[in-house]
Amino acid sequence: QKEVEQDPGPLSVPEGAIVSLNCTYSNSAFQYFMWYRQYSRKGPELLMYTYSSGNKEDGRFTAQVDKSSKYISLFIRDSQPSDSATYLCAMSGRDDKIIFGKGTRLHILP
């Protein structure tokens, strides 16, 4: 079992819809959870950073962490064509090594 599992997609949704992206993980030592957005031929860009369980909201983005289920989510409200990108979940524990998921390719259809 891989440490971090993420459905690679692609996921296609119409503009304006709510997008739900998810990852599961197996290492209970993870305590820092991140979501990165990566456009084609670019480096990853940090979107959300959360510590331990709970919710965090930033504009149209909401990150959720459920440590009991080892499950994290990213919600995008009022999705825009400019949100089309690959979304990478990432997590780390006390050793600070960041483990990434494979990424989910998201297409927002105008």
Partner 1 sequence: DAGVTQSPTHLIKTRGQQVTLRCSPKSGHDTVSWYQQALGQGPQFIFQYYEEEERQRGNFPDRFSGHQFPNYSSELNVNALLLGDSALYLCASSLDERDTQYFGPGTRLTVL
Q: Which of residues 31-50 bind partner 1 (CB under 8 A)?
A: 36, 41-46, 49
DSSP letter string, the chain: --SEE-----EEEETTPPEEEEEEE--TT--EEEEEEE-TTS--EEEEEEESSEEEEETTEEEEEETTTTEEEEEESS--GGG-EEEEEEEE-TT---EE---EEEEEE-
Site string for partner 1, 68-97 (x = CB under 8 A): --------------------x-x----xxx
Binding partner 1 (rule: CB under 8 A), the pick from 81, 98, 107, 109 is 98
Residue 15 makes contact with partner 1 by CB under 8 A:
no
